Amino acid sequence: MDTAVKTTIEEGTGSAPLRLLFGADRSPLNQKVHGSKEARHTNTRELSKYAPTSVLYKAEDRVTGSFQLLQSWAGNVISIGSDSFVAVVHDRTNPNNPDEEVTLDIKEVTSDDLPLLAEGAVFYWSIGYADFPGRPRLRISEIRFRRLPSWSQKEIDSSKEKAKRLAKRFATD
């Protein structure tokens, strides 16, 4: 039984975000290249439809590469439109740079992260080069939303208690 992990590269029109997942285990590599509309993970039987552009790797042939980070931001979403969102980004590479407000296409967000796209949501945005042996260098822009722990009742109650004490202390009448 073929348990190969494969990458499908589809041709298309329009630009799409470039995103690479480095499979530490057998998780599929899902690669989009500039010019492709979308990438799909396909099974072995469909493989022949896309020959000769599809590439087959055996499960034990892990593709490992390196990522050279050029620029990194931490951002938070301030508004969401029909096809774009606005965020304030803080420069993590050079914190002396001023904050910027950017408008990004919602297509820059992966399908995994789309449910996390909300006002106030926090993300990391990285730009860099990905190098794989025997492959051309890839320039990558990646946005990943943070999966943060939810509020606990204990935390909220503690804040309410502290607020009560402070409000009493600050009373001027």
Partner 1 sequence: MQNDLPQIDNSSPNSDELEVSLFGPGVGECIVAHLGDNQWMVIDSCKNPKTKNPAALDYLKEIGVKLDAVSVIVISHWHTDHIRGAADLVAACPNAQVVYSAALLKEEFLTLVDAYSISASVVGCESAGLSEMRSIVQCLDDRNEDDEGYAKANMKPALADTIIHNYKCDEFHTQVWALSPSSTSFNEALQEFESLIPSEGDQRKVISCPSENINSVAIWIEMGEYSVLLGADLEETKNPNTGWSVIVDSKVRPKEQANIFKIPHHGSSTGHSQDVWEQMTCDNTIALCTTFNNSHLPKAEDVERIKEYTENLYCTTISKSKLPKRESSVERTLKEVTKTRRVIGGAVGQLQVRIKQDGTCRVCAKPPALQL
- Write out the residues near partner 1 by the rule CB under 8 A: 15, 17, 70-71, 74, 76, 78, 84, 88, 90-91, 94, 97-105, 108, 116, 118-122, 127, 129, 139, 141, 146, 148-153, 155-156, 158-160, 162-164, 166-167, 169-172
Q: Compute the least distance from the CB of residue 93 to partner 1, in Å.
A: 8
Smallest distance from partner 1 to CB 40, Å: 23
CB of 127 to partner 1, least distance (A): 5
Of residues 58 and 162, the one with the C-beta less far from partner 1: 162
Reference 41, options 83, 71, 7, 11; nearest CA is: 7
Identity of the residue, 135 or 139, whose beta carbon is nearer to partner 1 in the bound complex: 139
Smallest distance, partner 1 to C-beta of residue 162, A: 5
Q: Which is nearer to partner 1, 30 or 91 (CB)?
A: 91
Residue among 6 and 123 whose Cβ is closer to partner 1: 123
Minimum Å distance from CB 102 to partner 1? 5
Which is nearer to partner 1, 15 or 27 (by Cβ)? 15
Q: What is the rounded distance in angstroms from the CA atom of residue 6 to the CA atom of residue 47?
A: 9
Other beta carbons within 10 angstroms of residue 154's beta carbon come to 8
Angle at the Cα of 63 from the Cα atoms of 60 and 69, rounded to 5 degrees: 150
